[in-house]
Amino acid sequence: MLSWYMSKALHYVLSFVFIGFLPIWIFVISPELLKLSADYSDKANMIHTENNRFDQNTDWVGKTIAISSSNLHTVNSNSVQSDIATQFKVESLTGESLFELNQSFAVNRTTRHNLAGGNDTVGKASILFSADLSKNNTVYWPIEMGAPTELSFVKTKVVNKMNTFHFQAVNSIIDDTTGYDFLPLVPEKYRVHSFVNIDIYVEPITGTIIDYQDSGTSSYVDDKGKIIWDISQWSNKYNEPTISDRVTEANKKIQQYSIVTLAVPISSALLGFLFLILGIYKDSKKKH
């Protein structure tokens, strides 16, 4: 008789444990597991083209094909934010450094939106995309550029067998002065505005950028924003190995996301109800 009561009690205790574990997992453990990694880093290699005429009243030097890369790495991290350093670099096919832009950002580890700090002094843009991405317009700060721009959702598109959200900016004007402050006229005499086209393809469950491409024209402008002289025409696009690596990375993150948000809570709920039913069943058998 004692063993029967202990068996029945065990079923109810296990039911209570598994069902009671659900809110702890959903509201405490799961959010921590889904935060941006405390040691987050990322790299993308791109094909770069450019054509320059930095000196006024000169001809374009001719289109150059080069290699560009974007790098992000975490410098410091706490429970709320990560301080991330970024670098966009362009090198010739022989390895000569042609251009380099280094920036820093404070990022909310839960939302992945920028916080005020570093280059984003007001914290209204994002260098990363959030998980469970919506189709709403977003203010994005490409680390390839010195200022943010607004992206609009275009459509869903399959890239390398991966479903993505396509976001786009068309002829967007950004203040790119920071990116050209190596020129003697910047910013002492002119600022630089870039007229930018961007296409980004993002896996929406994990916020992983699968493909990225941009193009634009940068120009000297006066203090009223009037164009004085076009100085550079340029473009960047992820190369195929980077796209392939991003698809692999996104698939792994989707599996991890599914385990955290679906597999564990569903399993816990099923086990809880199973032990509850077993306890009720033992009660009903004893009464008969």
Q: Mind listing the pLDDT tens digit for each residue in 225-265? A: 999 999 999 999 999 999 999 999 999 999 999 999 999 99
Q: Is residue 246 part of a domain?
A: no
Q: What is the pLDDT of residue 1?
A: 45
Q: What is the pLDDT of residue 81?
A: 97
Q: Check if the beta carbon of residue 107 is closer than 8 Å to that of residue 120.
A: no
88 shares its domain with 127: yes
Q: Is residue 245 part of a domain?
A: no
Q: Is residue 200 part of a domain?
A: yes
Q: What is the pLDDT of residue 3?
A: 52
84 shares its domain with 225: yes
Neighbouring-strand partners of residue 259 = none
Residue 273 domain boundaries = 2-31+252-287
pLDDT means per 10 residues in the chain (288 residues)? 54 82 93 96 98 96 97 97 98 94 97 96 96 96 94 98 98 92 95 97 98 98 96 98 98 96 93 82 63
- How does DSSP classify residue 176? -
141 shares its domain with 178: yes
15 shares its domain with 55: no
95 shares its domain with 197: yes
Q: What is the pLDDT of residue 229?
A: 97
Helix/strand/coil for 194? strand
Cα separation of the two ends of the chain:
15
Which tokens go with 29? 């453990």
Our count of domains for the chain comes to 2
280 shares its domain with 154: no
213 shares its domain with 276: no
Q: Is residue 247 part of a domain?
A: no
102 shares its domain with 122: yes
Give the residue from 156, 244, 145 showing the smallest Cα distance to 198: 145
41 shares its domain with 21: no
Q: What is the pLDDT of residue 278?
A: 79
Give the residue from 142, 136, 213, 134 showing the smallest Cα distance to 174: 142
Q: Is residue 273 part of a domain?
A: yes
Nearest-angstrom CA–CA distance, 163 and 205:
10
Q: SS in 3 state form for 73-125?
A: EEEEECCCEEEEEEEEEEECCCCCEEEEEEEEEEEECCCCCEEEEECECCCCC
77 shares its domain with 167: yes
59 shares its domain with 136: yes
Query: What's the pLDDT tens digit per position in 41-70?
Result: 999 999 999 999 999 999 999 999 999 999
Q: Is residue 256 part of a domain?
A: yes
Q: Is residue 25 part of a domain?
A: yes
Q: Is residue 128 part of a domain?
A: yes
**Global confidence as pTM:** 0.90
27 shares its domain with 38: no
